[in-house]
Structure 1
């Protein structure tokens, strides 16, 4: 039994390693590639906090050599993995919202910050933090620092092997990945293939484009994090192998 990992690098390799540690064979076929944009941040002296919803934002800041100028700020991270990445890059005051944009918004609203929030983010936002916090009187300055660019083509050999039943499941971590997966494969897989391929999704929001494209074996992680995705993959593997 083999699983398909669709997330971008370097996260795809990390997921593949985690699956291997569980005894699950996998293959990587990223549907998105990260590109750091040319950007300029405003003067940093007046900000009260840094909001992070993606490790890709941290990587973009690191590649531009901006972390040292920012690591005095407290970091409000969307989830544990993002919080871990922030700590590994030198931030010391880091809290996690537990995995959802809504929890992050609530945490910031209750933080009683004495200044605006800097929000380095991707070009394709999953949520509008400035809009969410405006009713609470919190100003958010959004800086677009990276873009996730869709791969030009889905690998034909991978498509052929999906049709041949080589992959029992695919792991889908973002709504944009799900949208691309559905768009590329919706017309290229018949109903039987969509029924046979299990899809593990990080959240209900991620799963929605796949359900709308009539993929029928869609499984949701209990929580929007990697640990829950690994638990989902392991439970499925055991069910398939009877172990």
Structure 2
């Protein structure tokens, strides 16, 4: 029996490695495909800080960051995973939030309140093409100027790998891990197209957040559970509890 990971590549490989270290069999079925978008930044703009809600935003422009002054700016990351990606591409000062956009917003606001960050300097938001939350608008309402630069897009995949659809048909998958609303929607469309919706939704659906869980629950899945916090360690703990139950 295997755990199905729907996370996009290459992050799915890291997840699989962690699961296998915990003794699980793993199947990979990325539901979104990463595509970089050309980075057209104004080098004359004097930013006060960088904000990032996904490691993919950095992956898309990693080569273009070499030698840029942006690397010397403080970077506010949505969570530890994104913070690690920021450090790996060369950012010197990285401040992680607690794993979601709301905590990232609050972290930026708190830094401004303590004068560690000046509202007079614009923020550079490195973002994806599809945003689940208007972080720039929320910060704008609180007096910040936010310049949003799209550096990547995630393209939904229309079908399951054959190995995955066969495993669902044979009841060889014991749980599914969901990481985003968009990948959850793509998963639902794919299992319907493959004719394995009933078996795919009958097993525990482990979701990284309540927002993701709502997508799967609305599709009729009876065993939808949500991690205690929006990070992978909490998702793994949720998986352990679900399978023990």
| TM-score in terms of structure 2 length | 0.90
CA distance in 2, matches of 1:229, 1:67: 34
Match of 1:43 in 2: 43
SS at match of 2:67: helix
**Matched-pair contact (CA < 8 Å) for 1:36–1:145:** yes
Q: Relative to 1, partners in 2 of residues 1:66 and 1:211: Cα closer, same or farther, differing over 3 Å?
A: same
Residue 221 (structure 1) aligned to one of 218, 227, 245: 227
SS at match of 2:61: helix
Residue 166 (structure 1) aligned to one of 172, 186, 191: 172
Q: Quote how far apart the aligned CAs of 1:80 are.
A: 1.2
Q: Quote how far apart the aligned CAs of 1:38 are.
A: 2.2
1:24 aligns with 2:30: no
SS at match of 2:159: coil
Match of 2:92 in 1: 92
Which segments of 5 or more consecutive residues in structure 1 lack a partner in the other structure? Answer: none
Match of 1:81 in 2: 81
Match of 1:235 in 2: 241
Q: Quote how far apart the aligned CAs of 1:177 are.
A: 0.4
CA distance in 2, matches of 1:87, 1:66: 12
CA distance in 2, matches of 1:121, 1:18: 27
CA distance in 1, matches of 2:81, 2:35: 21
Q: Quote how far apart the aligned CAs of 1:206 are.
A: 0.9
**Matched-pair contact (CA < 8 Å) for 2:5–2:12:** yes
Q: Quote how far apart the aligned CAs of 1:223 are.
A: 0.8
Q: Quote how far apart the aligned CAs of 1:215 are.
A: 0.9
C-alpha root-mean-square deviation of aligned residues, in Å?
A: 1.7
| TM-score in terms of structure 1 length | 0.91
Match of 1:108 in 2: 108
CA distance in 2, matches of 1:193, 1:147: 27
Q: Quote how far apart the aligned CAs of 1:33 are.
A: 1.1
Match of 2:152 in 1: 146
Q: Quote how far apart the aligned CAs of 1:110 are.
A: 2.5
CA distance in 2, matches of 1:230, 1:236: 10
CA distance in 2, matches of 1:180, 1:193: 13
SS at match of 1:235: helix
Q: Quote how far apart the aligned CAs of 1:123 are.
A: 0.6
Aligned residues: 237
Match of 2:181 in 1: 175
1:123 aligns with 2:122: no
CA distance in 2, matches of 1:13, 1:172: 15
Cα-to-partner distance string for 1:101-131 (whole Å, 9 max, x where unaligned) = 1111111122223211101111111211221
CA distance in 1, matches of 2:163, 2:83: 37
Cα-to-partner distance string for 1:20-66 (whole Å, 9 max, x where unaligned) = 11011101111111011123012354100000100001111204x22
